Chains A and B, each alone.
Chain A
Amino acid sequence: EVQLVQSGAEVKKPGESLRISCKASGYSFSNYWISWVRQMPGKGLEWMGRIDPTDSDTSYSPSFQGHVTISVDKSISTAYLHWSSLKASDTARYYCARDQGLYSENDFWGQGTLVTVSS
């Protein structure tokens, strides 16, 4: 059974750094990309970027380029989303999703990680 299990909720202050995780199981991790999607409170879905675990090649939405970093650790089948300096506007739920590659949809999703940034 394909599963994407995300790390737990986080409460941080503006300016702090954060890394959240997405652990995959039930399939060959290197054969699929991982995408990250933001959902701000009461709002819609925003695609942030994706990573190919094979070579760590990444692609970001211009809206998120330079503000977040996506990485992977193939040895533990885990993808990460990292902020070096959080803003209050980063408060949202973040989902990871399996991605079958170029020209493909997101077929399995994690449960989401709620990130709250508040002074």
Chain B
Amino acid sequence: DIVMTQSPESLAVSLGERATVFCRSSQSLLHSPINKNYLAWYQQKPGQPPKLLIHWASTRESGVPDRFRGSGSGTDFTLTISSLQAEDVAVYYCQQYFGTVRTFGQGTKVEIK
């Protein structure tokens, strides 16, 4: 199975500052024929199910604020929250869907400093 490794485990950022979450996969998630990376980002707030934020590594879902940006290709990916808001406090997960067996990263908890 493809192993997904996120870092850091947690981070505390001041309101309005940038938060950056990293995700690395054990093998490339790039599907070369269509030049798409099979990598998604989810946000899970306490007591709620996960919410899809980004797919194909950088395509935001409808309604997701543009302060959320996904980037990267191959094995290294980044989720950036450009200006952290109070409602962004959550655990963020990356997920690969390249393999038959999908796998998640272990999650990154984002808090307010």
Q: Do A and B come from one complex?
A: yes
Name the one of A44, A45, A105 contacting B52, with C-beta atoms under 8 angstroms.
A105
Residues on A lying within 8 angstroms of B by beta carbon are 35, 37, 44-47, 50, 59-62, 95, 97, 103-112
- CB contacts between A and B, total, < 8 Å: 59
Q: Which of B60-113 contact A (CB under 8 A)?
A: 61, 91, 93, 95, 97-98, 100-107
Among A47, A105, A107, max chain B CB count under 10 A is at A105
CB within 8 Å for A105 and B55 given contacts A44-B104, A44-B107, A62-B1: yes
B1 touches A103 (CB 8 A): no
B64 to chain A, nearest CB (A): 12
Let me know if B31 and A45 touch, CB within 8 A: no
- Chain B positions 33 through 65: 1 when the CB is less than 8 Å from some CB of chain A, otherwise 0: 000001010101000011110010000010000
Q: Mark B19-43, 1 if CB is under 8 A from A, else 0.
A: 0000000000001000000101010
